[in-house]
Amino acid sequence: MSLSPGARRVTLTAHVASSVGWLGAVAGFLALSIVALTTGDADLVRSSYLAMNVLGEFLIVPLSLAALVTGLMQSLGTHWGLVRHYWVLTKFALTMVATSLLLLHQFTAVAEAARVAAGTAIGALPEVDGLGKQLLFDSGAAVFVLLVTTTLSIYKPWGRTGFGQREIAANFDSAQPVRSPLGFRLFAAIVGLIVATIVVVHLAGGGMGRH
């Protein structure tokens, strides 16, 4: 599939807008989670958890899905491809992981915190147990991941993947051993560790097991 120049501009605009909106919404969520943990105002804490749920359900979730779909269209409809360049493949993988964890996060931990807050009497502090710290950790990690994907889009590091290099080699009837760059392998290891930590913290906090 190859997009026309006009379609490429439209999808690129949609991708940038949804990605920036996603980052801004998650940053707002992070701010609310900080307020909920640090303020002594019970009504403000209650309102913050309710606002987080609205922000997640009506902004973060749709914007993340829009960024994922438009990014996929951009990669498959242009010369970049999905698996030809390390930065594109890495960005897509991070977006997939972030979106998947986000959906679990929204409909378990966030929804549970909002349910508890909604059932708490005016003037009383919502008893969310460890969910408050979990929401802070998850949203902070999400901001970090989105900043990483933004950085990848700007710097486009590591060059072509083995598949991309073999495409070029095939045109010149030459085959060279292909090895992924050390920087990419270190980056993948660090990201894998971060994702594993998020999953462990989420499970330990009971976020995935709450209803």
Backbone torsions φ then ψ of 85, nearest 5 degrees? -125, 140
Quick check: 92 and 75 in contact, CB under 8 A? yes
pLDDT given at position 182: 82
56, 139 Cβ separation under 8 angstroms:
no
- pLDDT for position 19: 97
> CA 197 to CA 98: how far, in whole Å?
13
Q: How far is CA 72 from the centre of its chain?
A: 15
pLDDT at 205: 58
φ, ψ dihedrals at 160, nearest 5°: -85, 150
pLDDT for 176 equals 57
Q: What is the structure's pLDDT at 122?
A: 87
Residues of the chain with pLDDT under 50: 207-211
Extents of the domains making up the chain: 5-209
Question: Can you give the pLDDT at residue 173?
Answer: 54
What local confidence, expressed as pLDDT, does residue 132 receive? 92
